[in-house]
Amino acid sequence: MMTGSEGLFARLFGRFIGKDKDSGAKTSERTEKENAGPQPDETGKMFIIAGLGNPGRKYEKTRHNCGFEALDVLADRYRIDVSQDKFKARIGTGVIEGQKVLLMKPQTFMNLSGEAVQAACAYYKVDPESDLIVMYDDISLEPGQIRVRAKGSAGGHNGMKSIIQMLGTDRFLRIRIGTGRQPSDYAQTDWVLGHFSPDQISDMADAFDRAARAAAQLLNEDPEKVMSVFNSVRKQEQQEKE
- Catalytically active residues are 64
Angle made by CA atoms 95, 98, 101, in degrees to the nearest 5: 35
Say how far apart CA 59 and CA 68 lie, in whole Å: 11
Angle made by CA atoms 196, 202, 203, in degrees to the nearest 5: 80
Say how far apart CA 198 and CA 203 lie, in whole Å: 10
Runs of H (alpha helix) within the chain: 4-36, 66-77, 113-123, 128-131, 158-167, 188-192, 201-218, 223-230, 233-241
For the purposes of burial, counting CB atoms within 10 Å of the CB of 233, is it exposed (0-12), middle (13-18) or buried (19 or more)?
middle
- Helix, strand, coil shares, percent, the chain, to 5: 50, 20, 30
Residues 6+ apart with CB under 8 A from 238: none
User: How many CA atoms within 13 Å lie on the side-chain side of 183?
Assistant: 3
